[in-house]
Amino acid sequence: MSILQDIPVSVQLDLNNLFVGEKLGHGWHREVYAHALDPSLVIKLETKDSKQFCNIHEWAIWDEFKDDPELSKWFAPCVAISANGSVLVQKRTGPIAKRPARIPSLLADTHINNWGTYKRRAVMHDYGNHNLFDVARKKWKMVDLPVDTY
C-alpha cells in the first residue's frame, strides 16, 4: 500500500517536479532524467506499455554482480528501484569517446550511446538488454544435486 495513495494529484505532480530534473535522453523502453536534487544520479522511467522490464533487469543484474569486482566494474551502479520497477535510480555517468575493445560476453546492445564513464572507467549505463540467457545456454552443464540437509 502506497503512502501516496491519498495525496492529491496536484501534490503528486509537485513531488515529481521536485525530484525529476531535465530530460537527458530516451530509448525504446525508457526515458532518463537528471535527479533534480542530486546531480550524481539519474532517474529512469519505464515508458508506458513497454513490457520489457528493463529497469528490473538492470536492478537484478546490478544486485547480482555488485560485489563481484570483475563484473561490477562494467556497470553503472543502481541505487534504488520502485516497488513495481517502473522507476530506477542509477549513478550518473559522464561522456565517453569510444567503447572498450573487449567486453564481457553477457553485455548486449553495446552501441556507444549505452556507455559512459563512472569513476574514470568505461561502464554501461543501459544494460537492461543483456546476453545472460544466451551465455547460460552455452555454458550450462549437469551437476550433482546436493543431498537435502533439512
**86-98 residue pLDDT tens:** 999 999 999 999 9
Q: What is the pLDDT of residue 77?
A: 99
Sign of the CA dihedral running 15, 84, 76, 130: negative
Q: What is the pLDDT of residue 33?
A: 97
The CATH architecture assigned to 10-139 reads 2-Layer Sandwich (3.30)
**pLDDT confidence tier of residue 125, bands split at 50, 70 and 90:** very high
- In this structure, the chain runs to a length of 150
Could you read off the pLDDT of 8-28 as tens digits, one per residue?
Answer: 989 888 988 899 999 999 988
C-alpha cell at 86: 517502473
Q: What is the pLDDT of residue 129?
A: 85
Are 54 and 30 within 8 A, CB to CB?
Answer: yes
Residue 17: Cβ-neighbour burial (10 angstroms; 0-12, 13-18, 19+): exposed
- Other beta carbons less than 10 A from residue 106's beta carbon: 17
Could you read off the pLDDT of 58-77 as tens digits, one per residue?
Answer: 999 999 999 999 999 999 99
20: Cα separation from own chain's centroid: 17
Is it the case that residue 30 has pLDDT exceeding 70? yes
Q: Where exactly are the structural domains of the chain? A: 10-139
* Residue 145 to residue 69: CA distance in whole angstroms: 29
Q: What is the pLDDT of residue 1?
A: 47
Cβ within 8 Å of residue 130, ≥6 positions away = 57, 61, 106, 107, 108, 109
Which residue has 525529476 as its cell numbers? 20
